[in-house]
Structure formats: structure tokens, C-alpha cells
């Protein structure tokens, strides 16, 4: 996501929301898991970097998605079989722009891709959490992990999390950032925004919301506040 996102004025959603993931509780002994998500170009990556600086272990679902579809990988072969040779470049890498233009205009194709990639990504996320759990068992120190995933709720990864944060930004600002950052047309930017779960639905499911319209310092202060609260909760026994 964006590496040059603006700041935020933040608000908490309290413990409102739909389903068990809106409730705070320990799920993995030795690891306290924060799920971080938001709309595309919302500033999620900025929040993720701040959490890394505070000492959280970042599990980046976007990076994992690239790894599981890297040249020569079984994942890329599965995608090639599903979408054809045209989505693989001459150097053997996935043509993500071409694939994006297909899936962000067709719900069925997008679901087809997600059905291939999501299980591969989830498996890697779970493996990393088990590694952190083993590390915690060895030294007795609780880890705070952040599952940074644009499709956290869509992929069901929120089920692994003790609490979830949504970085929120209005659609016009998202589109403006995408066009500036990626060189997309307005139509391309909006197709990507519309392909994601509506922001108000993500907010309903979230434990906390960071409303990303203020300054970078507002963001930093709010992230620090939420992280300190999470550290305290991480010392409670698993449920």
C-alpha cells in the first residue's frame, strides 16, 4: 500500500461490531495478534510501519501474496492455468497489472483468483504465528504480531486476531492517492476501490477505527495509544 500516506485523526469504535472478532480476547498463547486492514490507499502501510517501529512483528499479507506467486512457484502455476499464458511475462513473473485489469472488473474472476491465493497466504500466516508461538514458549516473552492484510475480513484472517484495526479514508481521497501513486485512470482507481468490501462494513467489524484525515502526528499518537493498550491486554491469559 501507500508509502507516503497522510496522517489521521483517530477514533475508537469501542467494542461494537458484528461477530466474535469485534471482541477482544486471547487466541494464541504467547502471541497477541492485531489484524490491520483498510481500504486501498487508505494509509494502512503508514500505520504498519509505525507498529513495526514500536516493536510489533509485521506479517505482511501483500508480501506473502507476492511470494506465493513468484516465478516458478506452484501458486503462479495455478494462476497461469486459471487465467492463461497472457498473465505471465516473458521473464516468468506474474503480470500483476494485466491480471488486475481483469479481476477488478469481474467479480467472478476476482473470486477465482482469491480462491487460489487466499489459502496459500493464510497457510503462510499461520506458519509464521506458530513460529512466534514457539519463540515465546522458548523465552517466556509474549510477542505482539500484526497481520497486515488489505483483505483481512474477506479472507477470514480476522479469525486469527485478538483485535482488529481499520484505517479509514474517504473514497475520493483514496482515488486521488491511487492515481498519483500508481498512475491509474479514475476508472482504474475506482474499480479497485469498488472491488473491496465497503468501508462501512469493515468499520462495523473492527475493534478500533483510525479515521485517516488528520495529520501524521495525530496518527502516530493514536497508534501509540492503541499499541500500549494492546500490550497491556497481551499480558492477560488466553481465552
Q: pLDDT, tens digit, for every residue of 186-201?
A: 998 998 998 889 988 9
pLDDT band at 213 (very low <50, low <70, confident <90, very high): confident
Q: Is the residue at 8 inside a domain?
A: no
Please answer whether residues 15 and 217 qualify as being in contact, where contact means their C-beta atoms are separated by less than 8 angstroms.
no
Q: Is the residue at 39 inside a domain?
A: yes
CATH number of the domain encompassing residue 182: 3.40.50.300
Least confident of 6-20, 73-87, 165-179, 181-195: 6-20
Q: Which triple of cell numbers denotes residue 164?
A: 482488529
Q: Which triple of cell numbers denotes residue 37?
A: 486492514
Task: Name which residue leads in pLDDT, 93 or 6.
Answer: 93
pLDDT digits (tens, 9 = 90+) for 169-190: 899 999 999 999 999 999 989 9
- The whole domain housing 25 covers 20-233
pLDDT for the residue numbered 6: 32
pLDDT for the residue numbered 238: 61
Q: Is the residue at 9 inside a domain?
A: no
pLDDT digits (tens, 9 = 90+) for 41-52: 999 999 999 999
pLDDT band at 105 (very low <50, low <70, confident <90, very high): confident
Query: Quick check: 99 pLDDT over 80?
Result: yes
Q: Is the residue at 11 inside a domain?
A: no
Q: Is the residue at 194 inside a domain?
A: yes
Q: Is the residue at 7 inside a domain?
A: no
- Alpha-carbon distance of 58 to 193, in angstroms, equals 24
Please answer whether residues 223 and 148 qualify as being in contact, where contact means their C-beta atoms are separated by less than 8 angstroms.
no
Q: Is the residue at 14 inside a domain?
A: no
What is the total count of domains within the chain? 1
Instruction: Give the 3-state DSSP-derived string for the chain, with helices as H, strands as E and coil as C.
Output: CCCCCCCCCCECCCCCCCCHHHCCCCCECCEEEEEEEECCCCCHHHHHHHHHHCCCEEEEHHHHHHHHCCCCCHHHHHHHHHHCHHHECCCCCECHHHHHHHHCCCHHHHHHHHHHHHHHHHHHHHHHHHHHHHHHHHHCCCEEEEEECCCCCCCCHHHHCCEEEEEECCHHHHHHHHHHHHCCCHHHHHHHHHCCCCHHHHHHHCCEEEECCCCHHHHHHHHHHHHHHHHHHCCCCCC
For 192, counting Cβ atoms within 10 Å of its Cβ (0-12 exposed, 13-18 middle, 19+ buried), the class is buried
Residue of 197, 77, 64 lying closest to 120 (CA atoms): 64
Mean pLDDT, residues 120-143 taken together: 95
Please answer whether residues 45 and 1 qualify as being in contact, where contact means their C-beta atoms are separated by less than 8 angstroms.
yes
pLDDT digits (tens, 9 = 90+) for 137-162: 999 999 999 999 999 999 999 999 99
pTM for the predicted model, two decimal places: 0.85
Query: Quick check: 10 pLDDT over 60?
Result: no
Task: Name which residue leads in pLDDT, 204 or 16.
Answer: 204
Q: How far is CA 92 from the centre of its chain?
A: 27
- Alpha-carbon distance of 118 to 238, in angstroms, equals 27
pLDDT for the residue numbered 1: 29
Q: Is the residue at 96 inside a domain?
A: yes
Mean pLDDT, residues 206-225 taken together: 92
Amino acid at each position: 500500500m501507500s508509502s507516503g500516506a497522510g496522517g489521521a485523526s483517530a477514533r475508537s469504535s469501542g467494542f461494537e461490531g458484528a461477530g466474535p472478532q469485534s471482541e477482544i480476547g486471547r487466541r494464541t498463547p504467547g502471541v497477541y495478534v492485531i489484524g490491520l486492514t483498510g481500504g486501498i490507499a487508505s494509509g494502512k502501510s503508514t500505520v504498519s510501519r509505525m507498529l513495526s517501529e514500536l516493536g510489533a512483528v509485521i506479517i505482511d499479507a501483500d508480501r506473502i501474496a507476492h511470494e506465493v506467486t513468484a516465478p516458478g512457484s506452484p501458486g503462479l502455476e495455478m494462476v497461469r492455468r486459471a487465467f492463461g499464458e497472457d498473465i505471465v511475462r516473458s521473464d516468468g513473473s506474474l503480470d500483476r497489472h494485466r491480471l488486475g485489469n481483469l479481476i477488478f472488473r469481474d467479480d467472478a474472476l476476482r473470486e477465482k483468483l482469491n480462491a487460489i491465493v487466499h489459502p496459500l497466504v493464510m497457510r503462510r500466516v499461520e506458519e509464521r504465528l506458530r513460529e512466534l508461538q514457539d519463540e515465546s514458549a522458548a523465552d517466556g516473552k509474549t510477542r505482539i504480531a500484526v497481520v497486515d492484510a488489505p483483505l483481512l475480513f474477506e479472507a477470514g484472517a480476522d479469525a486469527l486476531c485478538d483485535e482488529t484495526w481499520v484505517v479509514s479514508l474517504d473514497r475520493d481521497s483514496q482515488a486521488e492517492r491511487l492515481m498519483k501513486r500508481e498512475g491509474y485512470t479514475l476508472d482504474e482507481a475506482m474499480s479497485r476501490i469498488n472491488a473491496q468490501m465497503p468501508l462501512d462494513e469493515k468499520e462495523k467489524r473492527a475493534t478500533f477505527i483510525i479515521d485517516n484525515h488528520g495529520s501524521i502526528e495525530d496518527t502516530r499518537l493514536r497508534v501509540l495509544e492503541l499499541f500500549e493498550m494492546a500490550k497491556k491486554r497481551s499480558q492477560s491469559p488466553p481465552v
